[in-house]
Structure 1
């Protein structure tokens, strides 16, 4: 199976790995687009004013331009450790065992605006680029969606295993899921005290991080949707198909107010 995660705007600095080498990244069919987009971002970083405008940076984010300028020589670290924020704090990759890291490396990918799909253990540097940023390349100015969508979709279409899409809509558009059995977009909902189910906003990312962590701990070896749903039921997760005829799966958690950490228990209530 393959779990697809969104990246985060925030990245951890530093790293102990050697500088970026595209041939060390997963999904080698994406290398042509990667080279083009990375080159365009490094070129853009030479112009601070243009970078701030293109990347929609605030006054306190000017340091992000230097990050991009240093891309060719910056140290790397594994993707799941590079990204920070609510989802990745919940996933807590730094505490994964060696066996769990192996499962994550084989079964988790992050949708980067800069590198496209990257494996959980792929070595990447810190950078700043969002799905809605605009870059000019040799092919001219075009949105990242136009640059990535065809190549990303083709990469996913080659797979015949279970696909679980936890990406936000903007990042999912960079590599659309194939329209087939076993390819699911996951929506997170909350069940209130009144029994009504509604969108879960504040803790949406945390729920996705916790679910990913649980699947990795379980070995991420689910060969079918039915197998995944059976596991979820046994573990106490409310994960079920949507009733609207789509291929979506719904992760429903009890509505949580106050302490975010309570969601861990709420997921398995």
Structure 2
């Protein structure tokens, strides 16, 4: 089973690991694109003004340019510890046991705009790059979707296990899921007191982080969609097929006064 997560704009500084080595990252077939995108980012980073514009940085974010310049030499840390924000706070990688880290390393991956799909335990530096950034260089100008989509899709197509996609649409486009049974995009919805189901906004990320944590704690070794849905039902989660022509799954979270209620607490228990 592979759980695909989106990255976050915010990254934790520092790290105790040695500088980036592409051969230490999972999904080695992505190395050629990784080198290409990293070279383009470093070329862009040589021009501070162009970087600020391309990365859509505000006045207080200019230090992100220096972060990108330092990508080849900066210290690294495991991907799940590098990313911060709502989803990663909910996942709480810092409290995983050694056994749970082994499960996460095998079964969880993050869709990076810079490195493509990376494993949860892959050592990466801090950087700034989003799925919609455009890297204009002397060689070419191309969206990250054009740079990544074919290679990312091929990396996922090579797998025959259960794929659970929790990425946002922009990041999912960098490595589209294969069109087959067992490959599912997960949409998070909220059920209000009135019984109506609606889109979940801010707490969408929290729900995804908590679900990932629960799956890691459960061993994340489900061999089929049926096994996953049976586990979810037994644990009290409303995870079900979307019921349309897609292979999407719906995670429906109870909502109390706009804030996810009991189920969110259960995901954390």
TM-score, structure 1 length as denominator? 0.97
For 2:92, the equivalent position in structure 1 comes to: 92
Partner Cα distance (1:136, 1:80) in 2: 29
For 2:256, the equivalent position in structure 1 comes to: 256
Consecutive unaligned residues of structure 2, counting only runs of 5 or more, are none
Residues 14-73 of structure 1 deviation map (CA, whole Å, 9 limit, x = unaligned): 000000000100000000000010111111111110100010101110000000011111
Further displaced range: 253-262 or 53-62: 253-262
SS of residue in 2 equivalent to 1:251: strand
In the TM superposition, residue 110 of structure 1 has moved relative to its aligned partner by: 0.2
1:70 and 1:260, CA in 2 relative to 1: closer, same or farther beyond 3 A? farther
TM-score, structure 2 length as denominator? 0.97
In the TM superposition, residue 224 of structure 1 has moved relative to its aligned partner by: 0.3
1:222 and 1:146, CA in 2 relative to 1: closer, same or farther beyond 3 A? same
For 1:166, the equivalent position in structure 2 comes to: 166
For 2:235, the equivalent position in structure 1 comes to: 235
**2:43–2:137 CA contact under 8 A, matched in 1:** no
Partner Cα distance (2:64, 2:168) in 1: 23
Partner Cα distance (1:109, 1:96) in 2: 16
Residues 60-105 of structure 1 deviation map (CA, whole Å, 9 limit, x = unaligned): 1000000001111100000000000000000000000000000000
- Alpha carbon RMSD of aligned pairs, Å? 1.6
For 2:157, the equivalent position in structure 1 comes to: 157
Consecutive unaligned residues of structure 1, counting only runs of 5 or more, are none
**2:253–2:264 CA contact under 8 A, matched in 1:** no
Partner Cα distance (1:256, 1:42) in 2: 47
Runs of 4+ that moved beyond 3 A = 256-263, 266-269
1:234 and 1:262, CA in 2 relative to 1: closer, same or farther beyond 3 A? closer
Partner Cα distance (2:232, 2:174) in 1: 28
User: Is 1:35 equivalent to 2:30 in the alignment?
Assistant: no
1:195 and 1:268, CA in 2 relative to 1: closer, same or farther beyond 3 A? farther
Aligned length in residues: 269
Partner Cα distance (1:49, 1:134) in 2: 14
Partner Cα distance (1:168, 1:139) in 2: 29
SS of residue in 2 equivalent to 1:215: helix
User: Is 1:67 equivalent to 2:95 in the alignment?
Assistant: no
